[in-house]
Amino acid sequence: MGNLGGSQLNVLSRLTIPRCRSDGMEPRDLALGLMPLPLSYKLLEGQSTQPPLIFLHGLFGSKIIFETEAKALAERTGRKVLTVDIRNHRESPSSSDCSYEAMSKDLEVLLLKLGLTPCVLIGHCMGGKIAMVLALQKPELVDRLIPLDVSPTVTTAFPEVWTYMEAMKSLNIPKELPFSEAQKLADEKLGESIKNPTNRQYMINNLMLINGQYVWKVNSEALSQQMDKIMDFPQIQGSYSGPTLFLKGAKSPYIEPSHYPEIKRLFPQAQILTIQEAGHCIHVHQPQDFLNSIQNFLSYTRNTQ
Give me the residue spans of the domains in the chain: 30-155+232-299, 160-217
- Decide if 97 contacts 23 (C-beta within 8 A): no
What pLDDT, on the 0 to 100 scale, is given for residue 132? 98
- Domain 30-155+232-299, classified CATH 3.40.50.300, yes or no: no
The torsion region of residue 92 among left (phi > 0), alpha (psi -120 to 50) and beta comes to beta
Single-letter residue type at 140: E
pLDDT tens string for the chain (305 positions)?
A: 333 333 333 333 333 333 334 455 565 555 455 789 999 999 999 999 999 999 999 999 999 999 999 999 999 999 999 999 999 999 999 999 999 999 999 999 999 999 999 999 999 999 999 999 999 999 999 999 999 999 999 999 988 888 888 888 888 899 899 999 999 999 999 998 888 888 888 888 888 888 888 988 888 889 999 999 999 999 999 999 999 999 999 999 999 999 999 999 999 999 999 999 999 999 999 999 999 999 999 997 544 44
What pLDDT, on the 0 to 100 scale, is given for residue 291? 98
What pLDDT, on the 0 to 100 scale, is given for residue 29? 56
What pLDDT, on the 0 to 100 scale, is given for residue 7? 33
DSSP string, 117-151: -SEEEEEETHHHHHHHHHHHH-GGGEEEEEEES--
CA atoms within 13 A on the CB side of 174: 6
What pLDDT, on the 0 to 100 scale, is given for residue 6? 37
Q: Give 175's DSSP letter.
A: T
Strand runs (DSSP E) across the chain, as ranges?
A: 2-3, 41-44, 53-56, 81-84, 119-124, 142-148, 207-210, 213-216, 244-249, 270-275
